[in-house]
Structure 1
Amino acid sequence: MLQCGKLCREKRECCVKAYYSDHFVLPLPPGHRFPMVKYRMIREGAARTVPGLEFHEAMPASDGELALAHHPDYIGRASRGELTAAEQREIGFPWSPEMVERSRRSSGATIAACRAAFSEGVAVNLAGGTHHAYGDHGAGFCVFNDAAIAARLMQAERRAARVAIVDLDVHQGNGTAAILARDDSVFTLSLHGQNNYPFEKEQSDLDVALPDGVGDEDYLCALQQALATLQQRFAPQLLIYLAGADPHEGDRLGKMKLSLAGLAARDQAVFSYAREHEIPVAVTMAGGYGREIEQTVAVHLQTIRLASLHAARWSSRQAEPGPAPMMENKK
């Protein structure tokens, strides 16, 4: 574990735990479009530029934890290297032991971030957001669905009865929506491009499909309305936030036009909502495919810096706890 900095030592309650798995690198073929290097760049950049982070190597999710969201047959075949060629093509990675280990640890990082968020207000998975994985198969560079797994485990551990997954990746969280479609205890909210992958969408509890070229103002208006609806319909006790970098105007796959400042306002809107209603937040990085990888990393680092500021503000409010939210039907 890398020790946190001076701020963390002097004000322990403001230390943000950051969980990483970037040293488990997939052996991808040359020219593969998945930006594997970005995860190391995020960790190294965060260590340089964000005071008060405490870095932890993520532990792998167990078969039992994965089975909270995935079929045991799929877990076993994925782990043993028995996926068909078609299943591997849908995931987008050739099978390897490193793929399985990294996917387990990415899920383990979101689990750990959720646990830490209950005591510290916010914690971060420096990867994660694998929202295209279904219960019985992977897709779109996603093997196991870390948010769905972590949501159900937090409920099993009796840490939260109502969990909201706020997915602000540019692509719809189709796997998450499918896994949790009949689960009234987890609210799935997705803001995404209506003309982007996946082209056949699933039904989330709240889908906000946005047109190509949407900019800061319209996006933020839609987000504020969505968060208000989330609170009105559900009043969560935990947020799992997928802070995708791919709505950025420099993303190769995103089709949106959010500026770096607009994405900062997006993150601040989520953290402000969580602070207002005293909801712990676990943050995952989700997607990002910038034409220049440094742009993608800059978006992710901005999210981590804002999470650190949120932690300090969360700590300052703990002396005045608000009332526990009441249960409401999400449907």
Structure 2
Amino acid sequence: MLKIAWSPIYCHPLPEGHRFPMEKYNILPEQLLYEGTVKSSNFFSQQKLEEKWIVNTHIPSYFGKLTSLNLNKSEIRKTGFPLSHELIDREIHIMHGSVQASLFALEYGIAMNIAGGTHHAFADRGEGFCLLNDIAIASNFLLENGLRKKILVVDLDVHQGNGTASIFEKLPSVFTFSMHGASNYPMHKEKSDLDIPLPDKTNDGQYLKILKETLPRLIETFQPDFIMYQCGVDVLASDKLGRLALTIAGCKERDKTVLELARRHSIPIMCCMGGGYSEKLNLIIEAHANTYRLAQDLYF
């Protein structure tokens, strides 16, 4: 059964006029239910992740400042969010969602988190709409508990997974692969194990050729026993923060490529949503929904 992390707390409202599209966290599960891709039984709710698993990745002093709302103005500004206890609770629930989804992936081959993909969070700070790094926390959870030995992070959001790259820079059991817009945020890129920066206006054909040449080689060389997939849809040509030029069909083929490879090699995969900032919300929902449709079609 496809297990998907979702909770009403994912939809915690931000101040009016804030550009982060919180609506998608409600509309996407509604769309998946409406069209019959999933049933209510596919969804599981989250709790707060235990602090010990958060500070296993993040510096305790940072987490303490975060939960007590003691970040300074500069630190808050870099996150892009107005800080509140409700926002921190939401983030901690998202972390649990990705950890639990990773455990379900071990059981079913694949599992998803409607939220997550918070790859800009560093061990000691938040950036770019990311306060805590669910990819890193879930990876460290699997490693620390002896559940997996070699994790491949496949980050195909349009923005480099700079926080994830930094956290795992010196850990050989996690390989970070980020394929992203060369001219996009963050302006200062960290060093992933493999970075593929793409020029503006990269289209379906160019993008998919690179991905299909690269990812099979990575899997063959690194031999991962788990994949964390950051499947942001801000690669679309319509995305306000993107600069690449993928179509909805191209984005779907991207996801199909990753999921088919994971399934063919019997590698459990956890998929987290990542970014999506197209002007028309229906484009964001359609692109994200395709990932879940593919998961059902390919695995179940």
Q: What is residue 164 of structure 1 aligned with on the other side?
A: 152
Q: Distance in 1 between matches of 2:209 and 2:249?
A: 15
Residue 24 of structure 1: CA displacement? 4.3
Q: Distance in 1 between matches of 2:8 and 2:190?
A: 30
Tell whether the 8 Å contact from 2:236 to 2:244 is kept in structure 1 after alignment: yes
Q: What is residue 42 of structure 1 aligned with on the other side?
A: 28
Please point out which of 33, 58, 82 is paired with 2:46. 58
Q: Distance in 2 between matches of 1:182 and 1:266?
A: 29
With normalisation by structure 1, the TM-score equals 0.88
Residue 272 of structure 1: CA displacement? 1.2
Residue type at the aligned position of 1:311 = Y
Where does the alignment leave 5 or more consecutive residues of structure 2 unmatched? none
Tell whether the 8 Å contact from 2:11 to 2:26 is kept in structure 1 after alignment: no
Q: Distance in 2 between matches of 1:114 and 1:25?
A: 22
Is 1:237 the equivalent of 2:225?
Answer: yes
Q: What SS is found at the alignment partner of 1:169? A: coil
Residue 233 of structure 1: CA displacement? 2.7
RMSD, aligned α-carbons: 1.2
Q: What is residue 299 of structure 2 aligned with on the other side?
A: 311
Q: Distance in 1 between matches of 2:180 and 2:267?
A: 23
Structure 1, 150-159 or 48-57: larger mean CA deviation: 48-57
Q: What is residue 192 of structure 1 aligned with on the other side?
A: 180
Residue 31 of structure 1: CA displacement? 1.1
Q: Distance in 1 between matches of 2:51 and 2:141?
A: 12
Question: Equivalences for 1:99-178 in 2 at 5 Å?
Answer: 99-178=87-166
Q: Distance in 2 between matches of 1:166 and 1:142?
A: 18
Deviations 1:254-297 (A, max 9, x none): 11111111111101100111012110111110000011111101
Q: What is residue 270 of structure 2 aligned with on the other side?
A: 282
Q: What SS is found at the alignment partner of 2:49? A: coil
Tell whether the 8 Å contact from 1:23 to 1:40 is kept in structure 2 after alignment: no
Deviations 1:169-224 (A, max 9, x none): 00000000000000000010101000000010000011111010011011011111
Aligned length: 298
Deviations 1:147-182 (A, max 9, x none): 000001011121110011100100000000000000
Find the structure with the greater CA-based Rg.
Answer: 1
Residue 27 of structure 1: CA displacement? 4.3
Residue 22 of structure 1: CA displacement? 3.9
Tell whether the 8 Å contact from 1:27 to 1:96 is kept in structure 2 after alignment: no
Is 1:31 the equivalent of 2:17?
Answer: yes
Question: Equivalences for 1:78-93 in 2 at 5 Å?
Answer: 78-93=66-81
Residue 146 of structure 1: CA displacement? 0.1
Where does the alignment leave 5 or more consecutive residues of structure 1 unmatched? 1-14, 313-331
Q: Distance in 2 between matches of 1:27 and 1:263?
A: 28
Q: What SS is found at the alignment partner of 1:231? A: helix
Q: What is residue 294 of structure 1 aligned with on the other side?
A: 282
